[in-house]
Chain A
Amino acid sequence: DTGVSQNPRHKITKRGQNVTFRCDPISEHNRLYWYRQTLGQGPEFLTYFQNEAQLEKSRLLSDRFSAERPKGSFSTLEIQRTEQGDSAMYLCASSQDRPYGYTFGSGTRLTVV
């Protein structure tokens, strides 16, 4: 078990393109979270899965964003028609069924040019 893995680490894309990020949580963790962090800010909650069910989505997650967690294992976050404002660090975290103290991955840094 090597912790939460996120790929790619960096992504540069042109405005209007679609991008997809992947998160592999710690294997026994049933909860998975996506957060977004922009420069000078703390991480902001985007969405949460318990097993394969997406149970909550932030209003930050516009209809251009979609997240999946098929079979309750890895998760993907897709951004369609990227905009410059989507440039940020996208963080994935996972936890077991206990409160708090989740384990974060190293993040995917997205730059939209």
Chain B
Amino acid sequence: DQQVKQNSPSLSVQEGRISILNCDYTNSMFDYFLWYKKYPAEGPTFLISISSIKDKNEDGRFTVFLNKSAKHLSLHIVPSQPGDSAVYFCAASSGGSNYKLTFGKGTLLTVNP
């Protein structure tokens, strides 16, 4: 069963506009959420995270929103830049000392100049 779901395989946005990537989860035990960015032939790169005790975390152009009641989180990128074009993975952890992550399938973001 897919505990972390990214239902949009791809998203295309114009440069300068906002990109919104969505993620849903089913496991109520998840208490920490992360977004990773991946370019072809490279490993995932950590982007931003949020604890379940918060509903928003911001870092520069990137903001993650968490709606615990809906089991939904989103990543906002504003303004979007062509260099943001990559696959974005949502990931979650249920605590414990191992910090194991469960990933979604990813969303391919294309930012057009």
Closest chain A CB from B77 CB (angstroms): 18
Asked whether A111 is an interface residue with its Cβ less than 8 Å from the other chain, the reply is no
Q: Closest A-chain residue to B96, C-beta based?
A: A56
With A42-B104, A42-B105 in contact, is A100–B99 under 8 Å at CB?
yes
* Docked complex Cα distance between A35 and B95 (Å): 18
Q: Which of A51-70 contact B (CB under 8 A)?
A: 55-56
Interface string of B15-34 (1 = CB under 8 A from A): 00000000000000000101
| Interface residues in A1-53 (C-beta closer than 8 Å to B) | 4, 6, 31, 33, 40-45, 48
Q: Provide the residues of chain B in CB contact with A91, threshold 8 Å.
A: 43-44
Is the pair B89, A42 in contact by a Cβ cutoff of 8 Å?
Answer: yes
The residues in B between 44 and 81 inclusive whose CB is less than 8 angstroms from any CB of A are 44-46, 49
A-B contacts, CB under 8 A, total = 58
Given A91-B44, A100-B49, are A44 and B100 also a contact pair (CB < 8 Å)?
A: no
Count how many chain B residues have C-beta atoms less than 8 Å from C-beta atoms of the other chain: 24
Q: Contact check: which of A44, A55, A99 meets B32 at CB < 8 Å? A: A99
Contact, CB under 8 Å: A42 / B43: no
Instruction: Point out the residue from A41, A48, A106 that lies within 8 Å of B100, measured CB to CB.
Output: A48
A44 to chain B, nearest CB (A): 7
Q: Tell me if A110 is interfacial: C-beta within 8 Å of chain B.
A: no
Is A74 close to B, CB under 8 A?
Answer: no
Measured in the bound complex, the distance between the Cα atoms of B41 and A6 in whole Å is 12
C-alpha gap A33/B89 in the complex (Å): 17
B100 and A42 form a contact (CB under 8 A)? no
Bound-state CA distance A27–B29 (Å) is 32
- A103-B46, A104-B44, A106-B42 known; A95 vs B103 contact (CB < 8 Å): no
Q: Measuring CB to CB, which residues of chain A are less than 8 angstroms from any residue of chain B?
A: 4, 6, 31, 33, 40-45, 48, 55-56, 91, 93, 95, 99-107
What is the interface of chain B, defined by CB distance below 8 A to chain A? 4, 6, 32, 34, 36, 41-46, 49, 89, 91, 93, 98-106
13 pairs, CB–CB < 8 Å, chain A vs chain B: A42-B4, A43-B89, A45-B102, A48-B100, A91-B43, A100-B34, A100-B46, A100-B99, A103-B46, A104-B43, A104-B45, A106-B42, A106-B43
